[in-house]
Amino acid sequence: MKLFFKIFSYLFHPIFVPVAGTITYFVITPKYSPLELQSGNILPVFILTVIIPIISFLILKNLGVVSSIFLPGTNERKYPLIIQIALILMIIIKVIPNNYTMELNFFFVGLLSATIACLFLIFLKFRTSLHMVGMGSFLMFLIALSVHFEINIIIAISLFTLLTGILATARLYLNRHTRAEVLIGFLIGFTSQLLTIKFWL
Taking only the tens of pLDDT, the chain with its 201 residues reads 888 988 998 899 999 999 999 999 999 998 888 888 888 889 999 999 999 999 998 998 888 888 777 777 777 888 999 999 999 999 999 888 766 788 899 999 999 999 999 999 999 989 999 999 999 999 999 999 999 999 999 999 999 999 999 999 999 998 888 999 999 999 999 999 999 988 877
What is the CA angle 70-182-91, rounded to 5?
60
Q: Are the C-beta atoms of 24 and 145 separated by less than 8 Å?
A: yes
Q: What is the rounded CA–CA span in Å between residue 74 and residue 145?
A: 34
Q: What is the rounded CA–CA span in Å between residue 59 and residue 19?
A: 22
Q: What is the DSSP letter of 177?
A: S
pLDDT at position 46: 96
Could you tell me which of 68, 30, 26 has the C-alpha nearest to residue 45? 26
pLDDT at position 98: 64
pLDDT at position 99: 64
Q: What is the rounded CA–CA span in Å between residue 124 and residue 108?
A: 24
How far apart, in Å, are the Cα atoms of 18 and each of 25, 116, 165?
A: 11, 15, 20
Instruction: List the end-to-end C-alpha distance of the chain, in Å, as a whole number.
Output: 41
How far apart, in Å, are the Cα atoms of 126 and each of 120, 121, 199?
A: 9, 5, 30
pLDDT at position 27: 92
What is the CA angle 31-35-41, rounded to 5?
85
What is this structure's pTM? 0.92
How far apart, in Å, are the Cα atoms of 55 and each of 50, 69, 97, 115, 184?
A: 9, 12, 26, 19, 28
pLDDT at position 51: 95
Letter string b/e over residues 92-108, b meaning 16 or more CB atoms within 10 A of that residue's CB? beebbeebebebbbbbb
Q: What is the rounded CA–CA span in Å between residue 4 and residue 173?
A: 11
pLDDT at position 21: 95
Give domain limits for the chain.
2-27+34-200
The residue type found at 103 is E
